[in-house]
Amino acid sequence: MTIRLGDTAPDFEQDSSEGTIKFHEWLGDSWGVLFSHPADYTPVCTTELGFTAKLKDEFAKRNVKAIALSVDDVESHKGWINDINETQGCQVNFPIIADQDRKVSELYGFIHPNASDTLTVRSLVIIDPNKKVRLIITYPASTGRNFHEVLRVIDSLQLTDNHKVATPANWQDGDDVVIVPSIKDEAEIKQRFPKGYKAVTPYLRLTPQPNK
């Protein structure tokens, strides 16, 4: 199965390092970050999971729950978590799904046969509170993920869900944003964006971030 943007994130029930996870129930009304790992006790994944643990407060203030996946079993996960905590100076504070039967990996398309028939690629999915898939990023196994970019995308998604704006290249929280082209009425623009705007071209209009 291949998931695409806008799809409902597949639901599942699977064991994890924190017990059985019923995914949609576990997410509740939170945003979710689901990310896969080729296997336990792998060096790049160890750094990724440690860094994710350190982002607990950043995820919490955005109403985001993190959940990882690896094709090894729960006991292996628990031993690996001990290593992660010790080597990365953290406390892993999110579940790692035990996907020995590849059920979740197949649901989400995390196994790419041309890369490996059995190991998951380094994929990451952002899911909104309506259980819709909003971002899919897939890295090669050799390249660790950029979690600052993950936070940036979540900030952009949450902003643009609530305001008729888009975020330009390299946007960071607090930068100017783009007024969406569908808004053409000047009265509506003044109402929505009282700080004004700069028209670079008729279709590229920059305005201060409206929730700041």
Catalytically active residues, by annotation: 45
Place of tokens 């890369």: 115
Whole-number Cα distances in Å, 24 to 130, 132, 178: 10, 11, 33
- The dihedral region occupied by 58, where left means phi > 0, alpha psi between -120 and 50, and beta the remainder, is alpha
* Residue 83 DSSP class: H
Whole-number Cα distances in Å, 1 to 7, 18, 23, 111, 139: 12, 26, 18, 10, 18
The CA-based angle 95-98-100, given to 5 degrees, is 170
